[in-house]
DNA sequence: AAGTGGTCTAGACCACATA
DNA sequence: ATGTGGTCTAGACCACTTC
């Protein structure tokens, strides 16, 4: 049986998206939702916590829960942060075109060893990929993955979604990502790969990803064209 | 009385930071923590949820809860996302130097009206500030605030923390921020203000902030030098 | 089979908002 | 004074991991 709190959260999220619950409007009270969905108070509360984290509603003690009035042009619905990992993986699967520019196994050194928390010299895949998400958007990714964690990785897998290979192929699940974000100039190579005019900077996303069994499985540095895309997040 | 779940979460966070619970180590089980702290299971669970959201631990059903092994050089402890708003406000209070470059009341137009969800022509403060956080780090902020929400704002307030003025001075509390992040080149003015060499890009953070009563109180665009700083976040 | 975290319940009391 | 969300409890059962 699907989780009750997610069922409730997703039903209300749908109502918000479809305009049944317009911006600024007050949602039913916790007790009313308990009745409507036939669940306990704590379950409704957990559903509301999910909606609150995702930035859809704002809870006001003593008053009620209200639909946030956000500018649709800065909509967070497709944001990386709002999405669950499976949804992210699904999107990655929709990446139109992925070229694997480099695929090799090397010994981890310096920053890569530090970020992956492995000893120097530990075998890791070193993968450089060029990906276009829509027509004009692009990103270059530099990824390092310990061979021990994902054996049998091939250049072909890398052209698909790595996440999908790890989740579907190996039965592991991705749990969390720690990101560090800056603005940098692309290298000359990257300028060519991404077809960037002079003086167009890229967003650098430096990230490590954990599996739900606690192992650190990936260190990546992404350089992304942000002329047609932006990184979105909600903080509460 | 302080909140129990926060007391527990903060005590364990401290133990993690101080090395009492080293990376990779298993925390006591939920039931053991219930006994240790003399609280219920649901309270311990809420505390663990907090630590998990903040990126300190990883929970493994059927196995236990473990301290994440993160690279200290990419530590998230000071991250904007991990911090509570009061903590953020405290930090903003530590901003060494704030120069108010512009302070006026204008009628909202175009993008500002859209983001603030007010009609065109609605009076808003328009504030441009130059801030240095440490010695070498700097950011330029362009902020718009509806006059109706924060009456009596002065140039002097703007030189201090706006958040502090809103929270302490007006008794309002800040609830959440929606951010959209990209890489851009600074304007010529900004290059001078931030003392940026040629060809150094800045991080553009486009954000709206909500009060806990649900009102949208601020729209800001920040241009930030990221040579010595990065925007950090954890996604679960 | 035993242990551990995840979900869910019913119910109590509190803090805050609104009138 | 009333209504609303926030915290907390005790306890049940489930799903998954580990032995």
The distance (Å) linking the CA of B65 with the C1' of D19 is: 19
Please compute the mean of the pLDDT values over residues B149-168 and round it to a whole number. 84
Is A65 within 7 A of strand C by CB distance?
no
Per-residue model confidence (pLDDT) at position B92: 47
Contact list in A for residue B177 (CB cut-off 8 A) is 234-235
Q: Indicate the residue of A216, A234, A235 with minimum beta-carbon distance to B69.
A: A216
What integer pLDDT is reported at residue A80 of this predicted model?
46
How high is the pLDDT of residue B136?
57
Measured distance CA(A116)–CA(A108) in Å, rounded:
9
**What's the CA A29/C1' D3 distance, rounded, in angstroms?**
10
Same CATH fold, B79-225 and B4-67? no
Of A81, A175, A204, the CB nearest to B58: A175
Residue nearest to nucleotide D7 (CA to C1'): B3
Q: Which nucleotide is nearest to A171 (CA to C1')?
A: D16
> The whole model's pTM is what?
0.92
Tens of pLDDT, residue by residue, chain A (236 residues) = 789 999 999 999 999 999 999 999 999 999 999 999 999 999 999 999 999 999 999 999 999 999 999 988 776 554 444 333 334 444 444 555 889 999 999 999 999 999 999 999 999 999 999 998 665 568 999 999 999 999 889 998 888 778 878 877 778 889 999 999 999 999 999 999 999 999 999 999 999 999 999 999 999 999 999 999 999 999 98
Q: Do A74 and B181 touch (CB under 8 A)?
A: no
Q: Among A74-83, B44-53, B123-132, which is the least confidently predicted range?
A: A74-83
> Tell me, what's the pLDDT at A147?
95
Interface test with A, best of B69, B138, B180 (most A CBs within 10 A): B180
Q: B4-67: which CATH topology?
A: Arc Repressor Mutant, subunit A (1.10.10)
> Smallest CA–C1' separation from A64: which nucleotide?
D4
Q: Which residue of A has its CA nearest to B71?
A: A115
pLDDT of residue A75: 64
B24 contacts A214? CB cut-off 8 A: yes
**Do B181 and A202 lie within an 8 Å CB cutoff?**
no
CATH C-level class of B79-225: alpha beta
C-alpha distances (whole Å) from A144 to each of A150, A163, A214, B59, B167 are 11, 13, 17, 24, 44
Q: Which strands make up the sheet holding A174-184, listed edge to edge?
A: A97-107, A123-132, A138-146, A216-225, A202-211, A174-184, B231-235
Taking the stretch 31-90 of protein chain B, residues with Cβ within 7 Å of any atom in nucleic acid chain C are 31, 41-42, 45, 48, 59-65
Q: Distance (Å) from CA B141 to C1' D1?
A: 46
Contact B60 A214 (CB under 8 A): yes
Spell out which residues of chain A touch residue B200, defining contact as CB-CB under 8 Å. 185
pLDDT score at A103: 97
- pLDDT for A136 equals 57
Is the CB of A62 less than 7 A from some atom of nucleic acid strand C? yes
Residue B78 pLDDT greater than 80, yes or no:
no
Q: What is the pLDDT of residue A135?
A: 57
Domain ranges of chain A: 4-67, 79-225
| pLDDT for residue B95 is more than 90 | no
Name which residue leads in pLDDT, B86 or B137: B137
Interface test with B, best of A26, A112, A191, A201 (most B CBs within 10 A): A201
Which of B26, B173, B201, B213 to probe by mutation at the A interface, max A CB count within 10 Å? B201
Q: Picking from A158-172, A190-204, B44-58, B222-236, which range would have the lowest pLDDT averaged per residue? A: A158-172
Q: How close A223 comes to chain B (CA, Å)?
A: 10
């Amino acid at each position: 049986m699907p989780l009750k709190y997610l069922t409730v959260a997703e039903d209300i999220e749908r109502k918000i998206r479809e305009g049944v619950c317009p911006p600024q409007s007050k949602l039913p009270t916790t007790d009313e939702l308990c009745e409507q969905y036939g669940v306990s108070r704590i379950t409704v509360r957990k559903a509301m916590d999910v909606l609150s984290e995702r930035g859809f509603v704002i809870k006001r003690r003593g008053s009620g829960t209200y639909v946030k009035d956000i500018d649709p042009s800065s909509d967070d619905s497709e944001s990386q942060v709002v999405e669950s990992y499976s949804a992210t993986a699904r999107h990655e699967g929709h990446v139109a075109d992925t070229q694997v520019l480099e695929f090799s196994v090397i010994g981890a050194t310096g920053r890569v060893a530090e970020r992956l928390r492995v000893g120097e010299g530990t075998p890791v895949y070193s993968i450089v990929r060029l990906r276009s998400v829509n027509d004009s958007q692009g990103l270059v990714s530099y990824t390092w993955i310990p061979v021990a964690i994902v054996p049998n990785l091939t250049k072909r897998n890398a052209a698909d979604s790595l996440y999908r290979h790890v989740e579907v192929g190996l039965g592991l699940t991705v749990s969390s990502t720690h990101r560090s974000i800056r603005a940098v100039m692309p290298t000359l190579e990257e300028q060519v790969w991404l077809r960037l005019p002079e003086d167009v900077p890229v967003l650098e996303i430096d990230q490590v990803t954990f599996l739900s069994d606690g192992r650190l499985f990936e260190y990546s540095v992404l350089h992304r064209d942000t002329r047609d895309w932006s990184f979105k997040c909600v903080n509460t």
